[in-house]
Amino acid sequence: MKAISKAVVAALALTLAAPAANAGSELMPGISTGIPMGVPLPEGVYLISIPTYGERDSDPRQDVTAIAPAWLIWSTPVTIAGGRLLLDTVMPFANVDIDGGPTFTGFTNPIIDAQLKWDLGNGFFGGFQTGLYLPVDSDVGRTGIAFQGLAALSYFTPDWNITTTLVYGTGQDGVEGGPAWFNADFTLVKKFGGFQIGAVAFASTDLSTPYYGYQKQSQFAAGGLVGYDFGPVNVQLKLTTDLYEENYGGRDTRVWANFIIPIWSPGKQMAAK
């Protein structure tokens, strides 16, 4: 469980809302790459900060910066049917800069999320999540209530992290809403003690047209990951680029980081006494 605590504490870091410049997925495609999403977190409270910056070679060019400044995660002592119950919430912040045009800055749709994760044995873990996006009205976007469901399967050992994460979102009809959508994130990482190195990839596609004239978007991207577990803080860095895109106006190249900080655990509390 100690190894899981250090390497998997990011498993709930699930949402950076897609800015209004690209209407598709509410969950930023690729955000869970590198994270063994199927693995249950040890009991405790965690904080995760996830900054990302990308440039899309559209005309005009779009620069998108986003961050989950304080993703709070509570891995509860409760188990249901043998699975660990986890609760989390975050309100991401985004900046969208259109080259030669306006800049949009503000908070994006907050999410409240509940999860169940199981140890399936022989290094395999799996779980499900369901989340509720709350309404938001900012320069970045105006959205109403929407729902999200996630399924993840991980092969996670001291040497490997092989994970597939599938996410579906209902979206919301209307010009200020967005389509129903589907994301798939993939991770293949080899671990050498504290070091991590590997490949990541992700795909996303719109499943509906929220209003007349909307053009469905889809993409596939791939890249690499390096990381290191410093003990109290685990850091992962990723670089990805679109290999295919449709109706985004250009291909996106993006830098990501995960900073994972445990805040409290029952073991630490007992040690302090």
The answer, yes or no, to whether residue 2 has pLDDT greater than 70, is no
pLDDT (0 to 100) of residue 94: 87
- Kindly report the pTM of this predicted structure: 0.88
pLDDT (0 to 100) of residue 93: 85
Q: State the average pLDDT over residues 130-144.
A: 83
Set out the domains of the chain in order of their start, with CATH numbers: 2-272 (2.40.160.40)
pLDDT (0 to 100) of residue 23: 59
Which residue has better confidence, 76 or 272? 76
The answer, yes or no, to whether residue 59 has pLDDT greater than 70, is yes
61-102 pLDDT tens trace: 888 888 766 788 999 999 999 999 999 998 888 888 888 888
Which residue has better confidence, 40 or 16? 40
228-264 pLDDT tens trace: 989 888 899 999 999 999 999 999 999 999 888 889 8
pLDDT (0 to 100) of residue 270: 37
The band of 12, judged by pLDDT with boundaries at 50, 70 and 90, is: very low
187-203 pLDDT tens trace: 999 999 999 999 999 99
User: What mean pLDDT is reported for the chain?
Assistant: 86
pLDDT (0 to 100) of residue 67: 77
pLDDT (0 to 100) of residue 47: 87
Spatial CA neighbour of 12 closest among 71, 82, 79, 60: 71
